[in-house]
């Protein structure tokens, strides 16, 4: 081959001086992609307050109530070490490889939840244990929800799903116990080129 040439699809020589490199690169990548595309890992972690401690609102004006709820929402997200969504940069040629990577992603996301586990005990002695549900090892179907697409979740398919209900998110550390939930979904998706 000539100097600076790259062998393209079907043995055709590509010369970077004669062709648009991005088109040539896309052609070569498409030729290297297994039939049916590659697989990627996607995830979504969302934290929210389910029930606000009514003690927060004693002697509050309406605008102060809104501020207290907003501060509690932020505290819940902070306690769960942030919300996130995204996709891995690494693509996998097989669904099995992507599922193995998805298991590792779920493990990492669950590892962020250390401050949401255990049992919260109020000054009055009431105990509020964290409650876990879902499958973070077995791929199970997504449960249909009317707002699922708005959440950025697929409408069908299999994924890893984990939910934890926990108590806390007290921004003022005034012994207020808000009931919170963190939901983690990890799934694999085929990416066509």
Q: Read off the pLDDT of residues 97-124 as tens digits, 9 standing for 90 and up.
A: 999 999 999 999 999 998 888 888 776 7
41 has a pLDDT exceeding 90: yes
Q: How confident is the model at residue 34 (pLDDT cuts 50, 70, 90)?
A: low
Q: How confident is the model at residue 2 (pLDDT cuts 50, 70, 90)?
A: very low
Q: How many helices (H) and strands (E) does the chain have?
A: 3, 9
- Mean pLDDT, range 63-72, rounded to an integer: 88
pTM of the model: 0.74
- Cβ-Cβ contacts under 8 Å for 15 (sequence gap 6 or more): 2, 4, 5, 6
pLDDT value for 58? 82
∠ Cα 74 80 81 (to 5°): 85
Contact 49, 73 (CB under 8 A): yes
7 has a pLDDT exceeding 50: no
Distances (CA, A) of 165 to 3, 14, 55, 130, 187: 63, 57, 20, 6, 21
Q: How confident is the model at residue 163 (pLDDT cuts 50, 70, 90)?
A: very high
Average pLDDT, the chain: 78
């Amino acid at each position: 081959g000539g100097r600076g040439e790259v062998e393209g699809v079907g043995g055709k020589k590509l010369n970077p001086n004669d062709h648009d490199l991005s088109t040539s690169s896309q052609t070569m990548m498409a030729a290297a992609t297994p039939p049916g595309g590659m697989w990627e890992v996607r995830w979504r972690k969302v934290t929210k307050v389910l029930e606000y401690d009514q003690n927060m609102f004693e002697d509050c004006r309406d605008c102060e109530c809104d501020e207290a709820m907003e501060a509690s929402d932020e505290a819940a997200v902070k306690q769960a070490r942030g919300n996130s969504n995204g996709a891995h940069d690494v693509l996998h040629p097989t669904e099995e490889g992507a599922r193995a990577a998805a298991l590792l992603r779920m493990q990492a996301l669950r590892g962020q939840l250390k401050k949401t586990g255990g049992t919260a005990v109020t000054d009055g002695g009431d105990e509020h244990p964290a409650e876990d549900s879902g499958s973070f090892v077995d791929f199970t179907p997504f449960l249909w929800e009317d707002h699922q697409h708005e959440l950025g979740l697929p409408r069908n398919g299999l994924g890893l799903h984990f939910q934890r209900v926990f108590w806390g998110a007290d921004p003022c550390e005034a012994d207020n116990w808000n009931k919170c939930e963190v939901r983690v979904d990890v799934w694999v998706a085929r990416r066509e080129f």
